[in-house]
């Protein structure tokens, strides 16, 4: 199954959830937090529910909107893939590499992720 062709937001795409077969083909695993996008959502996205969050280092800053319920879309997977590629090339995450997930959620760290 191909998540991007079936409108699935994985919502926890990180190195631990990408496995490689004997031919070097990547396989995405762990769809526990994934959401199926309804056709009527469009580009607006859908509300993030209390189901839980993925691994914070791989989520876009929009998922950390503290003053409102964030809308998530297929763009979450694109951001996560970008963070994975960065980590593969440079050997570390592009931001937050020295922070715990709890510290990422602190207001001052969240603001620094927004640029």
Catalytic (active-site) positions: 12
- H or E element at residue 26: strand 26-28
Q: Residue 81: CB partners within 8 Å, gap ≥ 6?
A: 13
The residues pairing with 27 across neighbouring beta strands, listed in sequence order, are: 19
């Amino acid at each position: 199954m191909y998540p991007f062709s079936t409108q699935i937001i994985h919502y926890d795409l990180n190195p631990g959830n990408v496995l490689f077969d004997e031919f070097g083909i990547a396989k995405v695993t762990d769809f526990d937090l994934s959401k199926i996008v309804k056709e009527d959502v469009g580009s607006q996205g859908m509300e993030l529910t209390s189901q839980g969050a993925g691994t914070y280092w791989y989520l876009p800053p929009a998922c950390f909107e503290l003053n409102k319920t964030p809308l998530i879309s297929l763009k979450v997977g694109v951001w996560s893939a970008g963070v994975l590629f960065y980590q593969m090339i440079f050997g570390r995450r592009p931001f937050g590499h020295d922070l715990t997930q709890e510290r990422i959620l602190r207001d001052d760290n969240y603001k620094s992720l927004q640029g």
